[in-house]
Chains A and B, each alone.
Chain A
Amino acid sequence: MQNSNTPAVSMRNITKTFGDVVANHKVDLDIFRGEVLSLLGENGSGKTTLMNMLSGIYYPDEGEILIDGKPVKISSPKDAFNYGIGMIHQHFKLVNVFTAAENIVLGMEEDYEGKHIRKGRLDIETPSERIREICDAYGFDVNPNQKVYDMSVSQKQTVEIVKALYRGAEILILDEPTAVLTPQETDKLFAVLRNMREDGKAIIIITHKLHEVEAISDKVAVLRKGEFIGELITKETNAQEMTNMMVGREVKLNIDRPEPKNPKPRLEVSGLTVRSDDGLLKLDDVSFTANTGEVLGIAGISGCGQKELLEAISGLQDIEKGDVIYINDDGSRESLIGANPIEIENKGVALSFVPEDRLGMGLVGNMDLSDNMMLRSFRKGKSIFTNRKTPRNLAQKVVNDLEVVTPGISTPVRRLSGGNVQKVLVGREIERAPSVLLTAYAVRGLDINASYTIYDLINKQKERGVAVVFVGEDLDVLLELSDRILVLCGGKVSGIIDGRTADKNEVGLLMTRIGGEKIG
């Protein structure tokens, strides 16, 4: 065993530039065995770049990396494996039609003891044994023979972690592992991580959620604009201090929740039932009312019908049964069912939708800001040619109003960071002066600063009297922002509760119950 004073990994003076952009500048970082280190930083602060250099995806321009005190060169992911470094990416790299065990041994020519397991024949039994041992040791719940396509997101993540451990990882890097998990699943993951820490592994976790940092980590390292700002002992700090360090100034950490002014029903959804193309029931008899000047939060494990619900309302999803009624200011009622987005607009209903897949649905990544603004407006006017001036002005206005960081309005949006992409999308949708605003995972992948900008924008719309439907994944945010919370489970409404009085546990439980009944 190594001397406990020697860091498992030391990064010294690491600098990495991409063209003119400095992603990391003279960063020093130490990670010790038996320790969980949280890496905190806003989007674009260089966390992922730094970790990619550790896992062999990038090579540093300057500086050196020491493993157990010895300088090493990591020039490929394979090198990283050989030094015992394993990274769990946000997007899983698994083959769907393979079993867990097949995925875990994929690409390995030797087993964990260095014996060749492939002499023309694939032996899946020995690895499966070993996988079970790993699972027992740390408390993972993985069936080596289960196919990946049968797995939930959290099970897939578990397979990724076991894969790294199977390959002898001593230093584990997890990139935003909780983004896709329910609170219960997160607790389970943290329990496993604690076991691994006890076993003397070094763990680095990248996350935006401060309460998770507090729950799991021993130390916190903060990066800002590519530079190492400082290291804190988790026990001796608090969310406010971490945020200030991360952002570089005082940030207010409370989400406002103004009282709804004179709420009136705006959108009435009744008995909405939707089936997917392959006949699966995605929404089952969903009914609710969204009021003006109110934020209706939608909670639920991902894939419980949130996407279908918003798409059905906005005319992008065929429905089997049910109705969506829009109630005008004068009380007249209009059904939106069967209308496509254009027909809905032509009915005079200003419905804005911020979809989950920003670059795949809301925006076109390869087009510039101004052309993306045009998506909503290009039909206006009788001319066969597009009017380019109005969208250009609109793009400039959004850039100024929302402080979008971009080289210019003729930059393709895919070049912008996640937070700025979202500002462009939300900015465009809000500029349409909507009366209903649907948002799906509006702050996913956004840093604290950008998230609060989005919350502010949503609250401003609420004060304007817009009926906001906010599909979220972070329960703490849902509980702070929403006036009411609708919980979906398996396509059914398992409860609608008051956002001011609800507690996290209650919502968490509803998320795993269908119509109040416990499943499984």
Chain B
Amino acid sequence: MDKNKKKEPLIHITKRKEISRSREWAIRLGSILIALIVCAIITTLTTHLNPLSVYASMWEGSFGSERKMWALSKELSILLMVSVALAPSFKMKFWNLGGEGQVLAGVLATSACMITLGGKIDNAPLILMSLVTALIAGAVWAFIPAFFRAKWNTNETLFTLMMNYVATQIVAYFIIRWESPKGSGKVGIINSNTEAGWLPYVAGKQYLLVVLVAIVVTILMYIYLKYSKQGYELSVVGESENTARYVGINVGKVIMRTLIVTGLVCGLTGFLLVAATDHTITTTLAGGRGFLGVMVAWLAHFNPIGMVLSGLLIVFMSRGASEISTAFGLNRSFGDIITGIILFFVIGSEFFINYKVHFRKSGKEAADA
């Protein structure tokens, strides 16, 4: 036999041309199933616990009681709003890693209003003022990198990232100015006696308002991106700036306008964090959601409705992870390992949605992913 004779490659990979919706979801759900099996094996091997009871406790952690359900809804709403805020930026291929800073700007503005004006003016104008300043602060914080990008083509990734640190430092400065009690180095609950500037409970539920706002914002953003002229313009700019110029779209203007939209929603999120949920200001109040939101948005392909699902997955897992570490007395890292494995499989499933893997034919038709 010819020594040059080689075997047909074992695996080759081709790009899929089209894939049906149902198949796409089958791949996604399949990947989660496989991830759960892998996690189960690792759980059994390393902790000798029954994986089913571990999963049951994860479920408990998110949906176990009404209180836990509300906590989950609140967490999901806030994360969803940040993701929805980032969607237009990323759809325009503007790598906005500054969600963190843009939310903090809103947080700072709201806190400033509540601390300096609390008790001096009525609650309604105070809330309105907090809201407006928070919106402006978020918009300004997002506008600055957009302006530099539009005028001098600076790198937005670095710029927005750096703006986070600037925001964190400004917040740190004001925390020292406003610290209460003196010398504690933190602000504590703002207006804890008067509750001035706090958003009212709707139907007796603290977080219902936040959930409602998140739903409205998500739907509005879906409509904005899908059906509005501005939404169309920003996707053209994202796909090709040359094409945008060719049809007379002012690229710089669209970049600045889109980032203002992002900033407004981020500012609104910051407002809700202070006025509705946490009632305090810390440098970490945004809690990494500016980055987590990027992942939520990507996983949903920038479709705000899809972000509800991807956001839910992430919030569910992070709450479940903390639940199992307390329930079984495990190190917090164990929960993170489980989360990491599931995310790995979910993100990995995108590969199998876009590509098809063929195995060497051995009589049978090649297996599919």
Chain A residues in contact with chain B, CB under 8 A? 18-19, 21, 59, 70-73, 75-76, 79, 82-83, 315-316, 340-343, 345, 353, 355, 357, 359-367, 371, 374-376, 378-379, 383-386, 415
- What are 21 pairs between A and B in contact, CB < 8 Å? A18-B17, A21-B17, A59-B12, A71-B2, A71-B5, A72-B5, A73-B5, A73-B7, A76-B9, A341-B245, A341-B248, A343-B248, A355-B246, A360-B243, A364-B236, A365-B240, A367-B239, A375-B236, A378-B232, A378-B233, A386-B229
The answer to whether B18 touches A75, judged by C-beta atoms less than 8 angstroms apart, is: no
Q: Number of residues in B with C-beta < 8 Å to the partner? A: 29
Inter-chain contacts of A362 with B (CB < 8 A): 243, 246
Inter-chain contacts of B152 with A (CB < 8 A): none
The answer to whether B229 touches A379, judged by C-beta atoms less than 8 angstroms apart, is: yes
Supposing A21-B17, A385-B229, A386-B228 touch, asked if A353 and B246 sit within 8 A by C-beta, the answer is yes
Inter-chain contacts of B151 with A (CB < 8 A): none
In the complex, per-residue mask of B162-179: 1 if CB is within 8 Å of any chain A CB, else 0: 000000000000000000
B228 to chain A, nearest CB (A): 5
Inter-chain contacts of B233 with A (CB < 8 A): 378
B252 to chain A, nearest CB (A): 12
- Taking the complex as formed, is B14 at the interface, i.e. its CB lies under 8 A from any CB of chain A? yes
Inter-chain contacts of A385 with B (CB < 8 A): 227-229
When A and B form their complex, what is the total count of cross-chain residue pairs whose Cβ atoms lie within 8 Å?
Answer: 87
B363 to chain A, nearest CB (A): 15
A316 to chain B, nearest CB (A): 6
Inter-chain contacts of A366 with B (CB < 8 A): 239
Distance A59 CA – B233 CA, assembled complex (angstroms): 41
The answer to whether B242 touches A75, judged by C-beta atoms less than 8 angstroms apart, is: no
The answer to whether A73 touches B6, judged by C-beta atoms less than 8 angstroms apart, is: yes
Determine which of A76, A342, A360 lies in contact with B248 in the assembled complex, contact meaning CB atoms within 8 Å.
Answer: A342
The answer to whether A365 touches B229, judged by C-beta atoms less than 8 angstroms apart, is: no
Inter-chain contacts of B248 with A (CB < 8 A): 315, 340-343, 345
- Taking the complex as formed, is B68 at the interface, i.e. its CB lies under 8 A from any CB of chain A? no
The answer to whether A365 touches B228, judged by C-beta atoms less than 8 angstroms apart, is: no
Inter-chain contacts of A415 with B (CB < 8 A): 17
B window 219-260: CB within 8 A of A: 227-230, 232-233, 235-236, 239-240, 242-243, 245-248, 250
A326 to chain B, nearest CB (A): 16
Supposing A18-B17, A73-B7, A360-B240 touch, asked if A386 and B227 sit within 8 A by C-beta, the answer is yes
The answer to whether A18 touches B14, judged by C-beta atoms less than 8 angstroms apart, is: yes
B301 to chain A, nearest CB (A): 12
Distance A75 CA – B9 CA, assembled complex (angstroms): 7
- Taking the complex as formed, is B16 at the interface, i.e. its CB lies under 8 A from any CB of chain A? yes
The answer to whether B242 touches A357, judged by C-beta atoms less than 8 angstroms apart, is: yes
The answer to whether B243 touches A361, judged by C-beta atoms less than 8 angstroms apart, is: yes
Inter-chain contacts of B7 with A (CB < 8 A): 73
In the complex, per-residue mask of B1-27: 1 if CB is within 8 Å of any chain A CB, else 0: 010111111001010111000000000
Distance A55 CA – B228 CA, assembled complex (angstroms): 47
Inter-chain contacts of B9 with A (CB < 8 A): 59, 75-76
Inter-chain contacts of B5 with A (CB < 8 A): 71-73
By beta carbon, the residue of chain A nearest B2 is A70
Residue from B5, B227, B229 whose CB has the most chain A CB atoms within 10 Å: B229
